[in-house]
Amino acid sequence: MPEIVKMNAAHVAEIAEIEKVSFKTPWSAQMIADELKNPLAHYFVIEKDAQVLAYMGYYRILDEAHITNIAVKPDEKRKGYGKALLSFVLDEMKDDGVSKVTLEVNEKNVAAIRLYESFGFRPAGRRKKYYEGVDDALIYWLNTGE
């Protein structure tokens, strides 16, 4: 049975592999490991049989959170892991006093946009050519008190 746990050093290599197949400019294993030392960073994974299926991270700054990454292993997509992880983390944020959550998403990532909007995230802006100097980032916000 898959379970959601806090990220630890044992997860770093698998997360780095998911990054490589999920993003054009992936975070390195060292960058991910450094997040474990960042007091503002909070990362969670869904694991099953000691394998990482998905992960998500955010920075907490005062009463706001900025989602940094969310990705699902390619062969585990469309099984609800992204939705389960986002739901869990948003509940954690709310319980921790976070009142607003923001994120950037590639304008071409329709599946992610639909997921975020299903949780109440609303578009609030655009960063031109944010991804690799080509694709725009859509900026989304969620008021967790809604």
Q: In whole angstroms, give the CA distance from residue 104 to residue 68.
A: 8
Please state, in angstroms and as integers, the Cα–Cα distance from residue 10 to each residue in 29, 33, 105, following that order.
Answer: 11, 10, 28
Residue from 43, 55, 81, 116 carrying the catalytic annotation: 116
Active site residue 116: yes
Residue-wise DSSP of 111-142: HHHHHHHHTT-EEEEEEEEEETTTEEEEEEEE
Residue from 14, 35, 104, 131 carrying the catalytic annotation: 104
DSSP letter (8 states) at residue 11: G
Active site residue 104: yes
Instruction: Write out the catalytic residue numbers.
Output: 104, 116
